[in-house]
């Protein structure tokens, strides 16, 4: 029996690695640096190389929240079996791979969520409505918030009313504030995550909280402001020395942060269905995070360049300013999803931001036909994954 369990887990693990490769090739591996490639700040091949490494680090250091949510919170009343995990992963990975090879970015979170819910219902589980409400809320708000913020930032950077250098430095400070509050596994106690702001704040001789309702420690707020000011000054000075070079370096830094965030979010979509099996096999979560991160890295290095080109060249004509405008909300939304353990599609995040930044230059910069097909692919992938996951597992379970 132990041998059968080990072999079944091995098959499930291979399906998970295939899913990680598909995600690395089509979502986490292609979207983070697509605006930078579109702005000619980095080559396609170099972008695929860097995003793979950063995605691996994000998977290991930030991947636990989404991984556990996908594995245990999408269905109630039952625990995913090895067979159910295999069906869910293969179904979702096949749909994502179709998107990779056809050039259309299938929303990975949609396919994985749909497949896991489908097999869970086939197992006799009950819908987790509270979690679905969180997920759908973020999915629906992402295009409006991400696209809206990208549009507003792009207009401000291109407009004559605000001086570009201090505005860019201010935006860099906002990014620094977000980064200061990002959770990292190596900064927190065992089983928890800590942030740069909390670690620095703990060393300040300051006590008390900001308001009785908010309850945020005052020391953490001071540390956040200090990090924001440091990043803003750094970018401001860099832009003063070399405006175009400073823009390019800031853009590449943003791409790196988004790539790291992609790894922290997307690895959970690949290995989340394995979580219910880890206790039975006595395998620690960090080990499968490393394996999932390696799968993302392999996908980024072998399959991402095709999708990077599709996003960078087919969706909008992006200059450095609009690319910066697209990546800032993408980073913020991605980290929000990681913090709350919500599976989210990086294709949806990035494409929405690209649309918003592209419209800042007029509709001519955005392919409306391509956008229409992409939205249909997003919605259709969720429904198809759910139906295929349910019907496939039900059919297999019905075999005597």
Q: Are 134 and 83 in contact (CB under 8 A)?
A: no
Whole-angstrom CA distances from 81 to 41, 63, 289 are: 46, 22, 19
The 10s digit of each residue's pLDDT in 134-173 is: 999 999 899 899 999 999 999 888 877 778 899 999 999 9
The continuous run of DSSP H or E covering 216 comes out as strand 216-217
52-66 burial by CB neighbour count: b if 16+ within 10 A, else e?
A: bbbbbbbbbbbbbbb
Residues in CB range of 376: below 8 A, 6 or more apart:
none
Rounded to two decimals, the pTM is 0.85
Asked whether residue 174 carries a pLDDT value surpassing 80, the answer given is yes
User: What is the pLDDT confidence band of residue 316, given thresholds at 50, 70 and 90?
Assistant: very low
The continuous run of DSSP H or E covering 41 comes out as none
The pair of structure tokens assigned to 258 is: 């988004």
The 10s digit of each residue's pLDDT in 260-280 is: 998 888 888 888 888 887 877
Rounded CA-CA distance 307/150 in Å is 21
> Among candidates 135, 146, 77, 143, which has minimal Cα distance to 110?
135
The 10s digit of each residue's pLDDT in 337-385 is: 998 889 888 878 887 888 888 787 765 455 667 667 777 777 888 899 9
Rounded CA-CA distance 352/341 in Å is 21
> Among candidates 101, 142, 293, which has minimal Cα distance to 93?
101
Please give the pLDDT value at position 177. 94
Q: Domain limits of the chain?
A: 2-159+260-398
Helix axes 129-158, 164-180, angle to 10 degrees: 160
Burial class (CB in 10 A: 0-12, 13-18, 19+), 219: buried
Start-to-end CA distance of the chain, whole Å, equals 19
CB atoms within 10 A of CB 339: 17
């Amino acid at each position: 029996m132990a041998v059968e369990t080990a072999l079944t887990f091995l098959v499930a693990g291979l399906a998970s690695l295939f899913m990680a490769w598909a995600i690395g090739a089509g979502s986490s591996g292609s979207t983070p640096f697509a605006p930078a490639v579109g702005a000619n700040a980095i080559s396609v091949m170099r972008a695929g190389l860097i995003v793979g490494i950063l995605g691996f680090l994000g998977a290991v250091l930030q991947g636990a929240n989404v991984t556990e949510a996908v594995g245990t919170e999408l269905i109630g009343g039952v625990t995913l079996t090895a067979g159910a995990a295999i069906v869910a992963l293969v179904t979702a990975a096949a749909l994502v791979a179709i998107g990779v090879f056809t050039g259309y970015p299938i929303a990975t979170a949609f396919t994985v969520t749909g497949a896991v819910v489908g097999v869970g219902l086939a197992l006799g589980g009950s819908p987790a409505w509270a979690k679905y409400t969180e997920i759908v809320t973020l999915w629906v708000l992402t295009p409006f918030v991400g696209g809206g913020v990208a549009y507003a930032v792009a207009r401000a950077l291109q407009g004559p009313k605000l001086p570009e250098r201090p505005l860019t430095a201010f935006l860099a400070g906002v990014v620094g504030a977000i980064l200061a509050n990002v959770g990292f596994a190596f900064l927190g106690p065992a089983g928890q995550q800590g942030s740069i702001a909390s670690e620095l704040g703990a060393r300040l001789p300051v006590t008390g909280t900001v308001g009785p309702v908010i309850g945020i420690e005052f020391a953490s707020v001071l540390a956040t402001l200090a990090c924001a000011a440091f990043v803003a000054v750094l970018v401001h000075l860099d832009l003063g020395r070399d405006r175009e070079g400073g823009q390019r370096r800031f853009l590449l830094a943003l791409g790196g942060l988004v790539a790291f965030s992609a790894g922290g979010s997307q690895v959970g979509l690949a290995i989340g269905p394995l979580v219910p099996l880890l206790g039975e096999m006595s395998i620690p979560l960090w080990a499968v995070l490393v394996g999932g991160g390696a799968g993302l890295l392999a996908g980024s290095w072998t399959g991402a360049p095709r999708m990077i080109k599709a996003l960078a060249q087919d969706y909008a004509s992006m200059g450095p300013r609009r690319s910066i405008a697209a990546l800032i909300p993408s980073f913020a939304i991605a980290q929000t999803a990681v913090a709350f353990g919500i599976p989210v599609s990086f294709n949806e995040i990035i494409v929405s931001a690209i649309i918003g930044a592209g419209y800042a230059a007029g509709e001519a910069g955005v392919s409306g036909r391509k956008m229409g097909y992409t939205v249909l692919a997003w919605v259709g992938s969720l429904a198809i994954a759910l139906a295929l996951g349910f019907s496939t597992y039900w059919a297999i379970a019905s075999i005597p």
